[in-house]
Structure formats: structure tokens, C-alpha cells
């Protein structure tokens, strides 16, 4: 059973992305002009998306990929262009509708199915690879690891995900966000030290037979996020 803290936080994240800041995220994930701060976030997200996709096999033909927390679908579309059969799921109906509207018709051999729902739902089935880009950063370390533990038994190859690293700069920005709240600001992220995350994964028995492999940080102005790969031994 998922913890109460995970469930409560998921409800907050859903309310933010589906109602409070839907327009802001639609703009951020498009080519429309944005402020200088949001431009650094857009650039950072673009770099992170390329990094995570680069950790997947170049040829994804016929492979099942779960885009867990897909947002407006940019990563899912790129994976499909490489031949993947992508299940892209998000808790925000607004973002999923936008993703469907933005999906190009020329995906080649791949395809994308956009769904509204819980990325941990076992009814989604099994996958070769799971990608969770910035969808676990709002949860406590223990809750994020629990989520990974639910995905791992249904993943044959690898899980690539991001977490918010505990850095001095990120702590300052996090504090500033609490001091000056705005309606379109995301629910506060949950920074975690890399060593603490590794220890939590260790306590979970390396999450159902998967072990941490690569890890890399993206720093782009107001976007700071760290990628990690879990893969079968």
C-alpha cells in the first residue's frame, strides 16, 4: 500500500498541474517566448530529456516504454520516433489533452498511447524501459523509492529517473519559493542527497534486482535535477 504522504502529495501535484498552472506549463513546453527564469528551466528540461533518452537503446523498435509522468508528451514522442511502443501516463487530464493535440502523425514504426491515471498502476502491464523525468521530485526520498519498488518488478531492462539533488543553490531557491509563494509555482520539491538516495535503495534490496548505474546532474539556471539509471544486473 502506498504511504499516506505519497497519496497526499500526489493529490497536490495533480491539482497544480491540472488547474493552477496548466497554462504556464503549456507555454513552458512550447516554443512560445518565456521569461528569462523560465527559459533556463526550459533549456534544462530539454537537456535532461536528451540525457534520459540517450540512456535508452538507440533502436527501440518494438520495445515497450512507460513514460511515467509524461506531461505534454515530448519525451514520449521522441521515444516513439525511435520505434518504441510508448504508454505515456500523467495524472493531469489537461496536460494529457495537450499532449494528444501536439502528437505528430509521422511517428514511424512507433506509437504513443496517452492515458490519464496513476503511473504506478499495475494494470498498465510490463515494460522494457521506464522513464520518470521530474515526476518523483515532489516526493520524499522514502516515497520515491517505494514508487520505484512498484515499477521495478514490471521492468525488464532499465528505469531512468530524476531526483532533486540537495545543493546549496537549490536549497536557497527552495527557501525563496516558500517565502514568496505564487499561484503558478509548483508544489515544493523534495531535495535529497545522493548518498541518502543510494542508502534508501540499498535498504530496498536494490529495488527488485535492479542496481544503480549511471548518474548525471543537469544545472541550468533555475533548473537543477539529477538523473539516475537503475538496470538489471
Residues of the chain with pLDDT under 70: 167-187
**pLDDT number for residue 18:** 82
- Cα-Cα-Cα-Cα dihedral sign, residues 16, 17, 23, 25: positive
CATH of the domain at 100: 3.40.50.150
**pLDDT number for residue 161:** 98
Note down the domain range covering 80.
Answer: 4-232
29: three-class secondary structure by DSSP: coil
Tens-digit pLDDT profile for residues 199-212: 999 888 878 889 99
**pLDDT number for residue 15:** 87
Alpha carbon distance 25, 72 (integer Å): 8
Tell me the sheet residues that pair with 228. Answer: 161, 215
Tell me the sheet residues that pair with 224. Answer: 219
**pLDDT number for residue 118:** 96
For the entire predicted model, the pTM comes to: 0.92
**pLDDT number for residue 172:** 53
**pLDDT number for residue 178:** 47
**pLDDT number for residue 8:** 92
Q: How many domains does the chain have?
A: 1
Distance between alpha carbon 49 and the CA centroid of its chain, in Å?
9
Amino acid at each position: 500500500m502506498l504511504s499516506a504522504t505519497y497519496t497526499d502529495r500526489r493529490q497536490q501535484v495533480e491539482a497544480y498541474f491540472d488547474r493552477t498552472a496548466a497554462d504556464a506549463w503549456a507555454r513552458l513546453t512550447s516554443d512560445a517566448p518565456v521569461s528569462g527564469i523560465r527559459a533556463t528551466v526550459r533549456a534544462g528540461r530539454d537537456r535532461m530529456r536528451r540525457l534520459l533518452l540517450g540512456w535508452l537503446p538507440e533502436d527501440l523498435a518494438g520495445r515497450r516504454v512507460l513514460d511515467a509522468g509524461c506531461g505534454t508528451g515530448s519525451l514520449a514522442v521522441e521515444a516513439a520516433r525511435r520505434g518504441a511502443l510508448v504508454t505515456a501516463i500523467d495524472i493531469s487530464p489537461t496536460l494529457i489533452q495537450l499532449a494528444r493535440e501536439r502528437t505528430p502523425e509521422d511517428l514511424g514504426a512507433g506509437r504513443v498511447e496517452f492515458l490519464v491515471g496513476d503511473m504506478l498502476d499495475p494494470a498498465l502491464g510490463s515494460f522494457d524501459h521506464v522513464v520518470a523525468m521530474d515526476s518523483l521530485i515532489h516526493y520524499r526520498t522514502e516515497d520515491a523509492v517505494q514508487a520505484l519498488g512498484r515499477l521495478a518488478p514490471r521492468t525488464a531492462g532499465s528505469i531512468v529517473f530524476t531526483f532533486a539533488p540537495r545543493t546549496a543553490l537549490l536549497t536557497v531557491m527552495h527557501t525563496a519559493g516558500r517565502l514568496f509563494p505564487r499561484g503558478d509555482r509548483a508544489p515544493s520539491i523534495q531535495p535529497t542527497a545522493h548518498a541518502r538516495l543510494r542508502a534508501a535503495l540499498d535498504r530496498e534490496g536494490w529495488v527488485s534486482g535492479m542496481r544503480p548505474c549511471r548518474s548525471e546532474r543537469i544545472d541550468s539556471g533555475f533548473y537543477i535535477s539529477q538523473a539516475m539509471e537503475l538496470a538489471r544486473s
